[in-house]
Amino acid sequence: MTPALAPSQRIITALDVENKAQALALVDQLGQASLFKIGLELFTAEGPALLREIQALGKGIFLDLKLHDIPNTVGEAARIGVRNGARMMTIHASGGKSMMARAAETAVEEADKRGFPRPVLLGVTILTSLQNEDLASVGMAPDTSAQVLRLAALARAAGLSGVVCSAKEIEIVRKETGPEFLIVTPGIRPAGASAQDQKRVMTPAEAVARGSDYLVIGRPITQAASPAAAFAAIVRELEAGL
């Protein structure tokens, strides 16, 4: 848990858009936002040049590619992500301890070499789209909570800075991993907002009160009539709740 963060610094706005023009328009409108998530869709469309462009605007980038491959490949991808300005990055914890450890090492090595702040590597535990029966079908014990805890502990042991998990798992992950480990949660909906396709949602204030460090929020901000006003309302909701 990172109590020093201001509410606006806890919000990672998900740029789930198709192209650079749409992404940059959102970054431009969201002057109060400090962190933006670039995921597979936008990265596949625009590549690392967009990371450099957003970084040059003074914004932090959460590169959410959920890497999963052999340690050498993931390590080198993490290095190149850092080189191109990613401040936070995701890798699948199920890729194993050596893979995560290599990514953490190469990312720090690259940041130190370039004088960048040390990057935050986050393990993806179990995707919230998977249920107990999905785990069983790929040969895992059909208990998502137990699997999330196992992978969070492994991510910590491998030297990652934190994990991405669903808001309903915040407390059990915090208990397992201790106060310093970062917890990043998607599936956040401001009070009164539509849940869209998210099945289990939590308000920003509740997620932070339960121990989440960063909130990944997409459509409630990006599809609002005024993204800036929606962002500001979430900040106020967090301020009131903190």
Residues that bind ligand C5P (CB under 6 A): 14, 16, 39, 127-128, 166, 186-187, 196, 198, 216-220
Least distance from ligand C5P to the Cβ atom of residue 114, Å: 27
Residue 4 to residue 210: CA distance in whole angstroms:
16
What residue is closest to ligand C5P based on CB? 218
User: What value, to the nearest 5°, has the Cα angle with vertex 77 and ends 169 and 44?
Assistant: 80
* Cα 46 to Cα 50, 78, 163, distances in angstroms: 6, 18, 26
Least distance from ligand C5P to the Cβ atom of residue 195, Å: 9
Closer CB to ligand C5P, 137 or 196, in the complex: 196
66 included as an active-site residue: yes
Least distance from ligand C5P to the Cβ atom of residue 76, Å: 24
Closer CB to ligand C5P, 32 or 98, in the complex: 32
Question: Which among 234, 227, 238, 129 is positioned nearest to 192, based on CA atoms?
Answer: 234
Closer CB to ligand C5P, 11 or 158, in the complex: 11
Compute how many other C-beta atoms are within 10 angstroms of the C-beta atom of residue 9. Answer: 17
**Signed CA dihedral, 169, 172, 174, 177: sign only:** negative
Catalytic residue (one of 20, 37, 59, 66) = 66
Half-sphere exposure of 185 (CA within 13 A, CB side): 28
Least distance from ligand C5P to the Cβ atom of residue 46, Å: 16
Q: Contact at 8 Å (CB) between 201 and 190?
A: no
Tell how far CA 79 is from the center of its chain: 18
Closer CB to ligand C5P, 109 or 143, in the complex: 143
Residues labelled catalytic = 66
